[in-house]
Structure 1
């Protein structure tokens, strides 16, 4: 880059590439770590912090010592060929494989290295098992690394890695001895929550050597040295360095780009023998890297800008021939300006003869600056150019033609790319490619329906992958002239996706409208009736849902195998939801393992759904086994985004069975991730989190979690029951009635006993508390009539509990004590320890009413001890206070797992709220700081006032300051929260 003109007419010196500054410690750590081979080094840092520079400086030192390293980079554009970054690293590291003397395993590499076909062993026999084929491919790569004597494999930007690459990394680190050392760079904030990358470190063998590096920003002195190295070693004033540091926060790339912009604008001056900035009012350094880059780009010759635009459109490394074709410039104009574009510091030679942006931020900034028309034209030229390659990159072609608006080519290449992904086991990329096409390109209705049917929504990351698909389908309905059958097919897909998204009633309406015009006996018709059979949404009799299921066309051999499998899985789920024993026979038809990744996704969902229903029926061993099968399938076939659903179902089961250790942390991870975890899974996790908080005594937080959980149709009944129980403990009978009134018609009136396990006792208790014994008896009778003699242990235990509640309310105390005891035994047999202990508490209280004090007090003391050991400290403390009030000997309550109860002391959260209150913040401001609702803060302030025996906020602030309590906030451990 040439020197700019000084404002006084002189010339600025040309800027040099910055020297390696401020990273000596990290470089030494990296070197020390890799002296102990093999090692795994994870370099985590924000964009522009210098991860790549650190790696390259280290690799240069290794080359001097004769240690061979291979380097690959993961691109933001996810490609559908297996191990893309590893393939590039190997390809760049070896010219040919003639001298490697590979075994027969090497033949497995033929599809990935067609240019080596003449020198590789013959292709091995095809394997039907995708997992076995992938394992063989991994072993072939390991053999290549061994023959090349590779000491280190370095992969950059692993947050963009495809699933197969991440699985290969896990394969490498799990082998003994580990074949090579690994260095992986990534940005943690861009790693999906369910990515195997986050589990890589936790699953390393015990003897593995793991080092984590997180380069930080430069300080002011390092910023001065960094800038000086670009200005030929000239002195940089402290004021100038501090100014740049403040504007860039010490991020090296931001410092470099800002300095280059100031150099281009001649905003640097020589002063007192060194470099400084002009007065602040005469210089405006853009506050973001993006602004700095774009201003630099705008100063280039228009043809040079076009070259940069082409590089941004291509996104990855490209040679001169491809770049020129995408620019559309005549050869002489391209040659005249390419040097300026390639020499301005934004691009680098990624590999010999191929250029790309030095940093993804620069690529993104330049791409966003291209006008819409020019961008579409460039994507079209890119597509036409890449089509002519001997091995066309179909995923890139799909992207280019999609963004060019050429729907026919986009569909063709997307289909091909998605199928290649499925063949390699990468369901996530397959779903992403299909989703991107459907969401952005207007398609004929028939093609649209076919592609939407292929999308595995569970494989897509993000909290809402549905809206864009629904909009595309509705646009086809309103904008295309369709025959009745075509309209019905599109409308059925609208309804199906709406139901998957949780909009149950809207989805049902669309499916009901579509059903008359769907082809009789077709898979669409069968699926429509099965979906209508699911007892979701508003109240309907179970008999109505069963009728839909009975009217569904039978499965026939004329149906595609995937359709038959999907329908059989969905039918089993519907039967179990409706409480039909036949559902278990249908569930036994679901295979334990399958080879086709598309079948694996259906079967994994099937086992998860059956596991959920087994939990509701009280078949906890079956539930555990089904969830384990689902997890195994999801991990084996890299169905990463299915793991959240399995995890939330597992958490629900663990709540019931008393496996509470670590459960709060597991559910918090799911609930708080509103970008990567589906609403359904977040709601189920929130339900469990709320139940845990209620048991620990944090009732306001529990209510907030439970209200959120009620946002999902499948959790709303149990969430309402849990909320009602919390309200009853607080003495708020009207609220408990209101919560259960809304759903009584669905559960009780509709005969949906599979959803009555938690609901029926809550509803009966609320009615009894209101003095409405007749309606309470109706609830019990309805549950008994719907349940019959079915082999459903949890609902049967719930029925016994309901009878006990009714007997106690009716004054039949002896009967109630016996029934509560029977309910406890039934819960214990599942096992369901928390409910068993609460039932024993009720039995003990009945004994006390009968005058059997010794037996009642003894039982209560034992229950309190067991509740504390379980982690239900609020209940244990409540019983302890009752026993103390009776004046008897109270068994000391040991603190076991779970959160503590605080009695009349402020909890850590209440202390935090009071500290903020004492600093003058309003409830709304405190809520914003703590990221909760103002209602929760108001409740916590009220609780603190009650505990401190004051009647105003001001008095509360004074009391806690005088008492020195605010200082306790930093002394309490966060785990207490």
Structure 2
């Protein structure tokens, strides 16, 4: 083997990083650059490490977690002796041959995020039981999505746990939308990290590599420069080119012992590795060439028996043929005596050179040979029968691979495989319409389970449309396809077109009342469309009528929750009566998931109405179920609404830290938690940082607008409008609230006007636009006719007061603001109440009662200061000073310390520790990161002079340490 040259620095970095486990090392570089050799050199230097090594094969549709599964199978023949918890039962679909030695499979979780998290925890446990300290994944550009998600799971754990990770990949072959770039984008206090980029060798490195292939003989400078020029210093290209030159006899040794080319003018060294491989392979005998062809078709390391079968060889000639291909270094022997090409490029060169008819024949032989393997390699079988154009077998094994992927909660390869199947040229002639309709319906059903929005959605949309346009499929499958197509169109922001498909599906799905009612409830949902309220109400009525026909309890729970919330979001008081019928307990995981989702929706509606006690009750019930069932969704949604509710209702102590912990816990590359962003931006602006606050709010508003999240855009536009009013920029406030306000008016759902109404009214008043303000108040008044929701009615009172003030009716305006003060205070919304009180004081002064007006403003200043609304307090103080009133300057120091006493945040943590909760459970309960909880717990233990959780509990019980304050 050639000497390892030119890689001392990356090898040292790899070694140093892995010496601080658990570490993450990413090694990137083009094909043939030496990534595998770098890893091999490290392995050879660390024989004591317990390493799991795997490579991702270049399959068209990779098998879910296939590389990790194969590596574990190679590492151990059985899990009988491993100490595994019940959690390991989720691994059964991936290791059917070990089923009898694995715990029973747990009850399925409908929430894909929670189920995938549980699966990854089981994988981590299995790796721990195998004592794996380093996981090496090569060719990760070919990894399936589930494998990449697992690698992200390993790198994102806080505190770091599990094996170190080494990942090699070719950046030029990373597909669009791949999760792989997130591995390198992860930042923060995670494991030790290094990102290594292997560059081509320079001329000196090229000479050193070639020299090692000639017994360390001296290489002429011209020869080294020539090789470097034509191979660009890529080590594999250098090796292959030199081997070709040697076999041709085009390299000679001069009398002075220097190796050189025979002729500078006549020799043409191939620029592509393919030419080198093909020329060497042509020197093989016919049997050896058949083995090489079979290896190229199989495309992965295999044993001699399978290679012989696919090649159609037996007897002594076979042994000689194997020796021949190995001696020419076209195939190499790896672990468990399996043979493979040294590099993927070599295999591709041989594969591409095959005559198409021979290639199809070899794929068919490979498929037939693999049908006897156990466990059945369905993804590989689907690939081989596809390439062999054996349609029935291709369909059968594709569906089997889809089943496995779905069992492993990896919908992406399942969708891709079915889509490829349905778009294959010539498939229509081989598959009848009923089968095509069935496959299309399955594709539609699976596609809507994919959470990530990318080009695959548009590809599937085109496929489903093609099936529908072709006609001839039965009504049931057509309805299921239209349902999936409609949901996908809505996701890619073709909402009107998508809802049209859903309307047609709702009328066709007469055989499925549960699915039909779900579609109708979805169409009744008013939060994500441009439809007017009356159209939503029509579908709400139809869904309500069909609800008694639904038998499945999980569907009933889902529908009751959606219909109750939809009524409330439409301003219909009857929604509360519907909500009261919602089941409080579920007997299955799916029922409990639906209960959690329903509680979150009703809680959100309660916030809109202004019933904050009910909102907290519903959200707490949903959070409890989500925590019990490990539901990633809707837990983060619920926690986001809870901090938003704290902002609205004035529960500000510790709110910035709570919201910050939620933001920290969120996926940095995932969608923005708009509720959390609103809280963080608003608090920053309230504290006086108008630029910083607006930047956060504006980014969130742009995201909400781009993703058609209408209700969020209303609240965020209102917050940005507040900031611009604080800058005395009413025109800017009008501009930012204009779009959301127009949509609200067109939709006719004024129950959502609480946030945006007063801000826009104040902006119109400040800009001197009384006619537009009068129109706003009239529309708001008409829109709330018959709707007793207290929050929007309080907002309407404030808008009416601004109109009176603009009209010069200051006494009437002061009385109107006082009505708003009372209404906001009853909710409670203390900030809005104080701002209305400020309006009352301002109008009293304008009405000729300065003494009373200034007294009111003084009280407002005091209360705003106590609340923590620094920017608003400063504005009121400025008005008071201009009118000759002395106002004390508030303390602007840093956060007040607690000395050796526990802070309120520390007391919360200690209470839960005493109750027996773990740090992770405490973090979830308090909406903080585990790292924050650990820091607060350590601080509390230091203050109480204890060194263990047990001692902490004893100290608290004995002295209570102020916990009952």
Query: SS of 1:710's equivalent?
Result: helix
1:506 maps to which residue?
A: 497
2:135 maps to which residue?
A: 154
* Alpha-carbon separation, structure 2, partners of 1:360 and 1:567: 52
Give how far 1:423 is off.
Answer: 3.9
Indicate the larger mover: 581-590 or 470-479. 581-590
Q: Name which of 62, 81, 91 aligns with 2:73.
A: 91
Query: SS of 2:133's equivalent?
Result: strand
CA 1:510/1:241 → structure 2, altered by over 3 Å: closer, same or farther? same
Q: Name which of 536, 539, 544 aligns with 2:535.
A: 544
* Alpha-carbon separation, structure 2, partners of 1:244 and 1:886: 86
CA 1:841/1:625 → structure 2, altered by over 3 Å: closer, same or farther? same
Give how far 1:393 is off.
Answer: 1.9
After superposition, give the CA deviation of every residue in 1:474-493 in whole Å (9 maximum; x if it has no partner). Answer: 10122233466665554444
1:533 counterpart = 2:524: yes
2:750 maps to which residue?
A: 753
Q: Name which of 23, 40, 65 aligns with 1:56.
A: 40
| 1:566-585 paired onto structure 2 within 5 Å | 567-568=559-560, 570-581=562-573, 583=575, 585=578
* Alpha-carbon separation, structure 2, partners of 1:415 and 1:217: 40
CA 1:279/1:453 → structure 2, altered by over 3 Å: closer, same or farther? same
TM norm structure 1: 0.66
Q: Answer whether contact 2:558 2:594 (CA < 8 A) is retained.
A: yes
* Alpha-carbon separation, structure 2, partners of 1:571 and 1:428: 31
Give how far 1:773 is off.
Answer: 4.0
1:957 maps to which residue?
A: none
Q: Name which of 103, 107, 110 aligns with 1:128.
A: 107
Q: Name which of 492, 495, 520 aligns with 2:486.
A: 495
Q: Answer whether contact 1:19 1:229 (CA < 8 A) is retained.
A: no
1:804 counterpart = 2:805: no
1:233 maps to which residue?
A: 216
CA 1:394/1:269 → structure 2, altered by over 3 Å: closer, same or farther? same
Give how far 1:29 is off.
Answer: 2.3
Q: Name which of 469, 492, 504 aligns with 2:460.
A: 469
After superposition, give the CA deviation of every residue in 1:685-735 in whole Å (9 maximum; x if it has no partner). Answer: 998898799873377997676455423332355566567667777888788
* Alpha-carbon separation, structure 2, partners of 1:249 and 1:896: 59
Q: Name which of 548, 554, 557 aligns with 2:546.
A: 554
1:447 maps to which residue?
A: 438
After superposition, give the CA deviation of every residue in 1:102-150 in whole Å (9 maximum; x if it has no partner). Answer: 8998996887666678xx76x755643669999899889968976x7x4
* Alpha-carbon separation, structure 1, partners of 2:584 and 2:389: 42
* Alpha-carbon separation, structure 2, partners of 1:269 and 1:689: 73
CA 1:43/1:541 → structure 2, altered by over 3 Å: closer, same or farther? closer
CA 1:172/1:31 → structure 2, altered by over 3 Å: closer, same or farther? closer
CA 1:653/1:398 → structure 2, altered by over 3 Å: closer, same or farther? farther
1:390 maps to which residue?
A: 374
After superposition, give the CA deviation of every residue in 1:276-324 in whole Å (9 maximum; x if it has no partner). Answer: 99999999999xxxx8544544545479999777656655433345456
Q: Answer whether contact 1:434 1:455 (CA < 8 A) is retained.
A: no
* Alpha-carbon separation, structure 1, partners of 2:592 and 2:330: 44
| 1:886-901 paired onto structure 2 within 5 Å | 891=889, 894=892
* Alpha-carbon separation, structure 2, partners of 1:409 and 1:350: 31
1:43 counterpart = 2:25: yes
1:714 counterpart = 2:709: yes
1:519 maps to which residue?
A: 510
1:29 counterpart = 2:16: yes
After superposition, give the CA deviation of every residue in 1:139-169 in whole Å (9 maximum; x if it has no partner). Answer: 89968976x7x46353425784775997799
| 1:221-620 paired onto structure 2 within 5 Å | 225=208, 228-230=211-213, 232-234=215-217, 254-258=234-238, 260-261=240-241, 264=244, 292-297=272-277, 299-301=279-281, 314-323=298-307, 349-356=333-340, 382-401=366-385, 408-426=392-410, 444=433, 445-455=436-446, 457-482=448-473, 487-513=478-504, 516-519=507-510, 522-535=513-526, 540-552=531-543, 554-555=546-547, 567-568=559-560, 570-581=562-573, 583=575, 585-586=578-579, 589=582, 613=605, 616-618=608-610, 619=612
Indicate the larger mover: 524-533 or 215-224. 215-224
* Alpha-carbon separation, structure 2, partners of 1:881 and 1:436: 68
Query: SS of 1:391's equivalent?
Result: coil
Q: Answer whether contact 2:571 2:751 (CA < 8 A) is retained.
A: yes
CA 1:97/1:670 → structure 2, altered by over 3 Å: closer, same or farther? closer
Query: SS of 1:466's equivalent?
Result: helix
CA 1:806/1:107 → structure 2, altered by over 3 Å: closer, same or farther? closer
Q: Answer whether contact 2:437 2:467 (CA < 8 A) is retained.
A: no
Indicate the larger mover: 690-699 or 23-32. 690-699
* Alpha-carbon separation, structure 2, partners of 1:565 and 1:43: 47
1:969 maps to which residue?
A: none
* Alpha-carbon separation, structure 2, partners of 1:137 and 1:703: 36
* Alpha-carbon separation, structure 1, partners of 2:789 and 2:154: 43
* Alpha-carbon separation, structure 2, partners of 1:548 and 1:145: 52
* Alpha-carbon separation, structure 2, partners of 1:309 and 1:227: 29
Query: SS of 1:43's equivalent?
Result: strand
The count of residues paired between Structure 1 and Structure 2 equals 846
Indicate the larger mover: 513-522 or 698-707. 698-707
1:780 counterpart = 2:767: no
Give how far 1:504 is off.
Answer: 1.7
After superposition, give the CA deviation of every residue in 1:555-595 in whole Å (9 maximum; x if it has no partner). Answer: 46775666556545554553343244555654984778786
Q: Answer whether contact 2:17 2:193 (CA < 8 A) is retained.
A: no
Superposed CA RMSD in Å reads: 6.2
After superposition, give the CA deviation of every residue in 1:476-515 in whole Å (9 maximum; x if it has no partner). Answer: 1222334666655544443332223332211233334555
After superposition, give the CA deviation of every residue in 1:159-212 in whole Å (9 maximum; x if it has no partner). Answer: 84775997799799999998x8544436698796699979999898xxxxx543
1:212 counterpart = 2:183: no
Query: SS of 2:196's equivalent?
Result: coil
| 1:626-665 paired onto structure 2 within 5 Å | 628=623, 632=627, 636=630, 659-660=655-656
Q: Name which of 691, 695, 711 aligns with 1:697.
A: 691
Give how far 1:549 is off.
Answer: 1.6
Give how far 1:399 is off.
Answer: 4.9
TM norm structure 2: 0.67
Q: Answer whether contact 2:296 2:350 (CA < 8 A) is retained.
A: yes
Give how far 1:471 is off.
Answer: 0.8
Q: Answer whether contact 2:834 2:860 (CA < 8 A) is retained.
A: no
After superposition, give the CA deviation of every residue in 1:518-562 in whole Å (9 maximum; x if it has no partner). Answer: 537634533343233233677554243222122135346775666
Q: Answer whether contact 2:616 2:642 (CA < 8 A) is retained.
A: no
* Alpha-carbon separation, structure 1, partners of 2:682 and 2:180: 24
2:928 maps to which residue?
A: none
Q: Answer whether contact 2:764 2:773 (CA < 8 A) is retained.
A: yes
* Alpha-carbon separation, structure 2, partners of 1:528 and 1:89: 44
After superposition, give the CA deviation of every residue in 1:647-673 in whole Å (9 maximum; x if it has no partner). Answer: 987897787676456979987999995
Give how far 1:223 is off.
Answer: 6.8
CA 1:298/1:613 → structure 2, altered by over 3 Å: closer, same or farther? farther
Question: For structure 2, which runs of at least 5 residues remain unmatched after alignment?
Answer: 896-965
CA 1:80/1:315 → structure 2, altered by over 3 Å: closer, same or farther? closer
* Alpha-carbon separation, structure 2, partners of 1:298 and 1:92: 32
